[in-house]
Amino acid sequence: MSETLGSTAARAGCVISVSHSRVTSGSCSGSGVLLSPDPPGLVLCPGILFSPFLLESEHPDWSQGKVLLSDRFFPGLQIQVLKASGGCSSSSSKADRDCLAGDLGENNPVLRFNPLSNRRGSPHGWKNCDAELLMVAACPRFQEAFSKIFSASDLWHFGGNDFEQEVNSLEQDLPCLHWFALLRILENDSYGASWATCVPAGSLRKGDTVFTCGSPFGSLCPEIFMNTLSKGIVSNLAGANNALLLIDARCLPGTEGGGVFVMSGMGPHLVGIIVAPLCWKSTEWVGLTLVCAIDSILESVAGVLSGSPWLLPMEHVTRSHAMMVHRNGLDRHLLDAVVLVECGSTWGSGVMINSRLLLTCRHVIGGASYVRIRFLTSPNRGSVVKGKVVFATKDTSPYDIALVELEEGLSTLPELPLASAFHPGEDVSIVSFGVFGQACGPSVTSGILSAVITVEDKPVMLQATSAVHGGSSGGALFGTHSGKLLGIVASNTRDNNIGVTYPHLNFSIPITVLRSAILEYIRHGNLHGFQELDRVGGRIQVVWRLQREPVEMPLSKL
| Positions marked catalytic | 363, 400, 473
Picking from 471, 240, 488, the residue whose alpha carbon sits closest to that of residue 347 is 471
Task: Return all residues near 114 (Cβ < 8 A) that are at least 6 apart.
Answer: 17, 19, 26, 27, 29, 80, 219
Which of 106, 294, 284 lies closest to 197, judged by CA? 294
CA distance 92 to 112: 17
Distance CA(381)–CA(336), nearest Å, equals 9
The secondary structure of 380-409 as a DSSP string is STT-EEEEEEEEE--TTSS---EEEEESS-
Beta bridge partners of 234: 247
Q: Could you tell me which residues are beta bridge partners of residue 15? A: 31, 82
3-state secondary structure 116-168: HHHCCCCCCCEEEEEEEEEEEEECHHHHHHHHHHCCHHHCEEECCCCCCCCCE
Peptide bond into 216 cis (omega under 30): no
Question: What distance in Å separates the CA atoms of residue 301 and residue 273, rounded to the nearest whole number?
Answer: 14
How many other C-beta atoms lie within 10 A of the C-beta of residue 381?
11
For the chain, give the number of residues: 558
Cβ atoms of residues 490 and 274 within 8 Å = no
Q: Which of 161, 146, 153, 171 is nearest to 18 (CA)?
A: 161
Q: What is the longest distance spanned by two Cα atoms in the chain? A: 96
**208 contacts: CB under 8 Å, gap ≥ 6:** 233, 234, 262, 325, 326, 327, 328, 329
Alpha helix positions (H), 25-113: 94-101
Contacts of 491 (CB under 8 A, 6+ apart): 400, 468, 473, 506, 507
Span between the terminal Cα atoms of the chain, in Å? 67
Q: Cα–Cα distance between 219 and 484 in angstroms, integer? A: 45
Sign of CA dihedral 468, 471, 474, 475: negative
